[in-house]
Amino acid sequence: MEDPRITLANGKELVIRIAPFELGYKLTKAVNRIIQKNGVKFDESILNIDFSNFKVTPAFMVPLANMFLSAMEDDALDEIFWACANHCSYDGLRVNRQLFSDDIDARGVYYQIKLCVLRENLLPFFPSLRSWLTDTTKAES
């Protein structure tokens, strides 16, 4: 599999190298904990949803927004993100905390980088989600 290359909102390129299996698996467990903490049942049935015909409704968006906000403030997920991001590059530089200290302008795409890195490291475990997220990926590339 070729490393995903994403053109970010600021025009710079993010190259995502998928993290090793153990780290990716740790990520899936952290995301699962966040989903369960938010009261969403995450079981085999969700993996079999045909996302190509999926309609986003307010009933779906409110819990999703709550999960997103919960995930963004989750310390365990944040540490996993940094470990995954360390395998990636932004404009030719390694993605790490120092990058965002040295390049203040990079902070403007921090959340975009975070979401892309987490998404691409989750998708190998849930290939049925890729078709649902294809439009998002195309918009970023």
Instruction: State pTM to two decimals.
Output: 0.76
In 3D space, the residue among 31, 23, 3, 13 whose CA is nearest the CA of residue 83 turns out to be 23
What is the tally of structural domains in the chain?
1
CA–CA gap between residue 115 and residue 111 (Å, rounded): 6
Residues 24-50: pLDDT tens digits? Answer: 999 999 988 887 877 766 555 555 656
For position 135, what pLDDT does the model report? 47
For position 37, what pLDDT does the model report? 79
| Structural domain boundaries enclosing 15 | 5-140
For position 128, what pLDDT does the model report? 76
Higher pLDDT, 134 or 13: 13
Q: What is the mean pLDDT of the segment spanning 67-95?
A: 91
